[in-house]
């Protein structure tokens, strides 16, 4: 005998059976609308009775009072005076006994009136037909939807756009550099054009299968992550037609009122960061409007007992949660610590302090907490406000928290001393407990796990070489030279992790155990997914030292990407950088266009090219303030080569 399929009855084709009249009465599974209202009336009467019993029984010292801890909030009351000379005298909770009695009576009358009104409305509803009630419900729904649309379309207050610094410095005088720069631009065109053909509107691209791709960080909706993420690179490279195509898609298709659960961190850095960068570069209002709309959708994620946001939030319902794997439901340092710059800009642009207050609350909470060995653990429980597993890393789970502390200070024109102090304190602890030199002389940044240093460094941690260099100016006790040297040592180590592979591309992480140095051991760590961090550090070292080897290393990485990651439908990551015949993972990451090609282009440009890559986002206001604070950069705008906004 076969087991019947568990399908809905509507999905089965079962011939009707005529079994004659039923031998038992039919029972409905649900109540009629009129019956529901009768139940509502009964419930309302019961509530009225309860309120009446609570408020209208005579006040007597013989009756035990029901103290809810909210005295005088709802109805002022009269108590016998304890310790009074005359026990018959009653003390009023307030200066005027007569006024309080009048207020008490007025509130009681209001309660009676509200209940009578509710009963009358229920009676009126019962007189109406089912169709009339459904029509009223639909009218109310339409009204709510219209109010939500009106709220989303409300104009954002005007804010002055800062004077933009130049986004390009003209053609390099050196023919070799000019050819290299054009090659990077051609790679960007190849990546963008194939996404335009095969993945338009999807979050990312599968360049081999030639179709759209997405991951759970973007939810279930097609939000065009690659379009938004790549806007600043398109603009910087002078690909203005492509930029306008992206702008049109955003105007007509980018919708955040979708039932989709997204990563707060990823959506912030890729979407809000990308939209704000495009706004500051082009001056187009649509980018600012969309950034504010999305930010409003992220705010419910902060509704936790501590104010530390959830990792995920549903854009429609506002319900948040954390990753199941993250240390007993903890939030992640690199995620809730990488919101500051975008949210500060949102408050600046809108005049609404809510965004600024949310991220400053996170900072204040972190300042009050004890840190083991001065290190920030990667996990913090948003319910209890306590650290989770004692795991600290400058790579995944921790990286951009430290980056944003430094850049918050730079973005403030070096006036945010609180951010700078937190950065300096953290870096001192990292140097003391995480940074070591291998037997072969390579400086690396390990990971601290429950009191033990794991001698493993991730590709993501390679950004720290550039961070140390960027933070050298303004360091404590005039240690600028020390941090420049430390940044150079990290850059060398990360270059070795590339140079010791068959493809000359770095693995996801690499170890320093015994005879193994700067090499991945586990198969699961041998992949390269088009990440930018190593090339970003090369760029910072080139800009601050002008040592030509960093430019050469950046070009080596570009050639390796072109040779091993380029496919007919775009660019793909590879699964094993130690194999001379690699297998592709068939994913063109959005950050490849937004960061990797962006910074690789800048490594090949002449000295006057100075748009700084910000690792996770690129905001023109940050750039302007940073450049004003550094005399290492020429002011190319003097020559009139600054781009004009697209119109």
**Residues taking part in catalysis:** 266, 399, 508, 533
* 3-class DSSP string for 115-151: HHHHHHHHHHHHHCCHHHHHHHHHHHHHHHHHHHHHH
Q: Identify the three-state secondary structure at position 419.
A: helix
Long-range contacts of the stretch 133-137 (C-beta < 8 A, 24+): 133/33
Q: Which residues contact 59 (CB under 8 A, 6 or more apart)?
A: 77, 78
- The residues facing 533 across adjacent strands are none
Other C-beta atoms closer than 10 Å to the C-beta of 304 total 18
| Length of the chain in terms of residues written | 647
Rg (C-alpha) for the chain, rounded Å, is 32
Quote the CA–CA distance of 306 and 460 in Å, as a whole number: 29
Cα–Cα distance measured from residue 198 to residue 206, given in angstroms and rounded to the nearest whole number: 8
Cα-based distances in Å from 494 to 507, 544, 550:
10, 18, 12
Residues 6+ apart with CB under 8 A from 214: 202, 203, 204, 220, 222, 225
DSSP for 245-290 reads HHHHHHHHH----SS-EEEHHHHIIIIIHHHHHHHHHH--HHHHHH
Q: What are the distances in angstroms from CA 165 to CA 168, 233, 350?
A: 9, 15, 23
Q: Which of 335, 357, 510, 390 is nearest to 440 (CA)?
A: 510
Could you tell me the CA-to-CA distances from 625 to 77, 347, 417, 590, 594 in Å, in that order? Answer: 60, 17, 15, 27, 22
For 499-553, what is the HEC assignment? HCCCCCCCCCEEEEECCEEEECCCHHHCCECCCCHHHHHHHHHHHHHCCHHHHHH
Nearest Cα residue to 330 out of 310, 306, 301, 307: 310
Contact 167, 236 (CB under 8 A): yes
- The answer to whether residues 604 and 551 touch, using CB atoms and an 8 Å cutoff, is yes
Structure-token pair, residue 118: 């509710």
585 vs 592: CA distance, rounded Å: 14
CA dihedral angle for residue 216, residue 323, residue 335, residue 614, rounded to 10 degrees: -30
Q: How far apart are the first and last CA of the chain?
A: 72
Task: Return the structure tokens found at 562.
Answer: 């072109």
């Amino acid at each position: 005998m076969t087991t019947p399929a568990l399908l809905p009855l509507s999905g089965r084709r079962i011939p009707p059976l005529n079994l004659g009249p039923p031998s038992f009465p039919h029972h409905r599974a649900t109540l009629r609308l009129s019956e529901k209202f009768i139940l509502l009336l009964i419930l309302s009467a019961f509530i009225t009775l309860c309120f009446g019993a609570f408020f209208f029984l005579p006040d007597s010292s013989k009756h035990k009072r029901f103290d809810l801890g909210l005295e005088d909030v709802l109805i002022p009351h009269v108590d016998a005076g304890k310790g009074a000379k005359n026990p018959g005298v009653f003390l009023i909770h307030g200066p005027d006994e007569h006024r309080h009695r009048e207020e008490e009576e007025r509130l009681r009358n209001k309660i009676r009136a509200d209940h009578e009104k509710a009963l009358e409305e229920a009676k009126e509803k019962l007189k109406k037909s089912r169709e009339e009630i459904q029509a009223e419900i639909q009218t109310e729904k339409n009204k709510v939807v219209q109010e939500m649309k009106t709220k989303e379309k409300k104009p954002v207050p005007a804010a002055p756009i800062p004077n933009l610094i130049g986004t390009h410095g003209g053609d390099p005088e050196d023919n070799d550099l000019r050819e290299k720069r054009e090659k990077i631009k051609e790679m960007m065109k190849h990546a963008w054009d194939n996404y335009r053909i095969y993945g338009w509107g999807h979050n990312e691209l599968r360049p081999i299968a030639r179709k759209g791709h997405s991951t759970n960080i973007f939810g279930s909706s097609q939000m065009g992550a690659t379009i938004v993420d790549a806007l600043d690179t398109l603009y910087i490279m002078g690909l203005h037609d492509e930029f306008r195509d992206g702008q049109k898609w955003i105007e007509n298709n980018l919708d955040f009122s979708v039932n989709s659960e997204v990563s707060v961190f990823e959506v912030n850095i890729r979407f809000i960061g990308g939209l704000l960068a495009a706004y500051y570069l082009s001056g187009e209002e649509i980018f600012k409007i969309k950034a504010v709309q999305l930010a409003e959708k992220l705010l419910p994620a902060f509704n936790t007992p501590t104010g530390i946001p959830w990792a995920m939030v549903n854009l429609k319902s506002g319900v948040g949660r954390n990753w199941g794997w993250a240390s007993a439901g903890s939030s992640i340092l690199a995620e809730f610590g990488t919101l500051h710059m975008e949210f500060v800009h949102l408050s600046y642009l809108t005049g609404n302090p809510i965004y600024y207050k949310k991220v400053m609350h996170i900072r204040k909470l972190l300042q009050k907490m004890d840190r083991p060995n001065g290190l920030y653990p990667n996990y913090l429980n948003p319910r209890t406000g306590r650290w989770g597993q004692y795991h600290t890393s400058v790579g995944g789970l921790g990286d951009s928290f430290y980056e944003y502390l430094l850049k918050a200070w730079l973005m403030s024109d070096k006036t945010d001393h609180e951010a700078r102090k937190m950065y300096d304190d953290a870096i001192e602890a990292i140097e003391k407990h995480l940074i070591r030199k291998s037997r072969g002389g390579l400086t690396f940044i390990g990971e601290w796990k429950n009191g033990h240093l794991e001698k493993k460094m991730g590709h993501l941690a390679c950004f720290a070489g550039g961070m140390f260099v960027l933070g050298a100016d303004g360091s404590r006790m005039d240690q600028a030279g020390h941090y420049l040297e430390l940044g150079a040592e990290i850059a060398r180590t990360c270059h070795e992790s590339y140079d010791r592979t068959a493809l000359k591309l770095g693995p996801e992480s690499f170890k320093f155990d015994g005879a193994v140095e700067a090499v991945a051991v586990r198969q699961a760590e041998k992949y390269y997914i088009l990440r930018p961090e190593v090339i970003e550090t090369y760029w910072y070292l080139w800009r601050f030292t002008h040592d030509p080897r960093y430019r050469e290393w950046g070009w080596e990485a570009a050639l390796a990407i072109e040779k091993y990651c380029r496919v007919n439908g775009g660019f793909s990551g590879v699964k094993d950088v130690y194999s001379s015949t690699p297998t592709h993972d068939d994913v063109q990451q959005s950050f490849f266009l937004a960061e990797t090609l962006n910074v690789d282009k800048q490594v090949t440009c002449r000295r006057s090219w100075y748009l700084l890559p910000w690792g996770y986002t690129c905001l023109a206001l940050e750039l302007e303030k940073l450049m004003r604070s550094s005399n290492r950069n020429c002011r190319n705008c003097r020559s009139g080569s600054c781009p004009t906004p697209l119109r």
